[in-house]
């Protein structure tokens, strides 16, 4: 039975640790992750919250990043294609040995939060045992079975969930709308841009994890 696990990995056992240490405000969110070859991952990573020049200087010094290419920079976000080569033993095992799929991977104050779709519960257990046997840390927060329903498939961060809930409560989704994006941003004490981004990404995850997952007729772009 397909299983979703929500786990935390410490920053110092994951890629981009140097950059996260050097830049307090930087935030990373993995758009897509591909196992390139044994020991290497090539993720597409969004970065925000920091000046591009400072970010790229830090990435240049980051030993976990072999290559880094800027693909897009809409507004104040930056999309990079990276080659990760160090501190990724857990992810390499998940992707290559257990055939797992990374649904969400984003940096947090605690380290990295990941939502992973495993082909079965045993694959998650094997990953946990692998980490313990190799001196790696893994904090399993929640486990869901896909067949139990949609509960474990929403994939929202706490901020995204709270923002969408607040938008609903203030009538943002009503017809006609009970509040504007600008008014909602002022109510929540965030910038218009930050609120727009959080809602957009939250909506994207809701669609992906409630509509797209499991559909054979939806092709990946």
Around Cβ 111, how many Cβ atoms within 10 Å? 19
What mean pLDDT is predicted for residues 70-91? 88
Statement: residue 98 has pLDDT above 90: no
Q: How far is CA 48 from the centre of its chain?
A: 13
Inter-CA distances, 189 with 99, 181, 182, 201, 220, Å: 41, 12, 10, 19, 36
Statement: residue 88 has pLDDT above 80: yes
Statement: residue 106 has pLDDT above 80: yes
Q: What is the mean pLDDT of the chain?
A: 84
220's CB contacts (< 8 A; 6+ apart) are none
Structure tokens at 137: 């840390």
Say what the pTM is.
0.66
φ/ψ bin of 189: left (φ > 0), alpha (ψ from -120 to 50), beta (otherwise): left
213 confidence band (pLDDT: 50, 70, 90):
very low
Around Cβ 184, how many Cβ atoms within 10 Å? 22
Half-sphere CA count of 94, side-chain side, radius 13 A:
27
Q: What is the pLDDT of residue 151?
A: 45
Q: How far apart are CA 213 and CA 205, in angstroms?
A: 10
Q: In what order do the strands lie in the sheet with 78-84?
A: 65-72, 78-84, 40-48, 27-37, 101-107, 112-118, 3-9, 139-145
Q: Which has the minimum average pLDDT: 38-42, 55-59, 162-166, 199-203? A: 38-42
- Report the alpha-carbon angle 115-118-120, nearest 5: 140
DSSP assignment letter at 11: G
What mean pLDDT is predicted for residues 5-14? 90
Q: How far apart are CA 40 and CA 84, in angstroms?
A: 6
Q: What is the pLDDT of residues 147-202, one digit of tens each?
A: 654 444 566 777 888 899 999 999 999 999 999 999 999 999 999 988 998 999 88
């Amino acid at each position: 039975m397909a299983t979703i696990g929500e786990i935390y990995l410490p920053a110092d056992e994951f890629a981009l640790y140097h950059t996260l240490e050097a830049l307090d405000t930087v935030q990373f969110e993995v758009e897509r992750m591909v196992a390139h070859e044994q020991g290497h991952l090539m993720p597409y990573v969004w970065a925000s919250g920091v000046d591009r020049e400072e970010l790229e200087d830090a990435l240049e010094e980051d030993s976990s990043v072999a290559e880094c290419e800027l693909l897009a920079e809409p507004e104040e976000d930056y999309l990079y294609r990276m080659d990760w080569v160090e501190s990724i033993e857990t992810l390499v095992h998940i992707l290559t040995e257990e055939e797992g799929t990374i649904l969400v991977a984003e940096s947090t104050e605690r380290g990295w939060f990941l939502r992973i779709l495993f082909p079965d519960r045993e694959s998650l257990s094997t990953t946990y045992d692998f980490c313990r046997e190799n001196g790696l840390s893994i904090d399993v927060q929640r486990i869901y079975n896909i067949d139990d329903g949609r509960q474990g498939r929403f994939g929202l961060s706490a901020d995204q969930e709270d923002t969408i809930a607040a938008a609903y409560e203030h009538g943002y989704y009503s017809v006609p709308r009970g509040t504007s994006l600008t008014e909602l941003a002022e109510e929540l004490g965030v910038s218009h841009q930050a609120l727009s981004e959080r809602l957009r990404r939250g909506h994207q995850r809701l669609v992906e994890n409630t509509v797209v997952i499991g559909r054979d007729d939806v092709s990946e772009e």
